[in-house]
Copies of this chain bind each other. A is one copy, B any other.
């Protein structure tokens, strides 16, 4: 007898949906690219329904999440050679657990401040999207 219970599906928060491009999925997290061409700025979102903070994950999920953050951070550092890397889970606006990974340069728009709330984002042009999206897919999803 089949069950009528439907397993709830993970749904990305509409604000993240609006502000980002989907790059692909790791085992735990979706990888998004923030649509702001001022910074190499990716976001990892664990596909865990109702998770707001890391305290909502299991110990195994946290271990996997930090390793996915670490792997993406390492690849972003290799690719972009930034002066610094910012890693942050804020959630003031979007109450769905997500981790920003941002390559920072001493010449960038907001340096040395954090990027949030500094000036207006500059969306990627179609040409830039056609370049960066496959490039990040190739960089971050290779096994």
Contacts and interface: CB of A to CB of B under 8 A. Distances in A.
Interface of A: 53-55, 59, 62-63, 65-67, 69-70, 73-74, 77, 84-93, 95, 104, 111-114, 116-117
A55 B84 contact: no
Contacts of A87: 53-54, 88-90
Q: How many copies does the complex hold?
A: 2
B111 A92 contact: yes
B92 A73 contact: no
A82 to B, nearest CB: 10
Nearest to A99: B87
Contact of A112 (B73, B92, B113): B92
A50 to B, nearest CB: 15
A74 B55 contact: yes
Smallest CB-CB A-B distances: 7 pairs: A88-B88, A92-B112, A66-B66, A87-B89, A55-B74, A113-B117, A86-B90
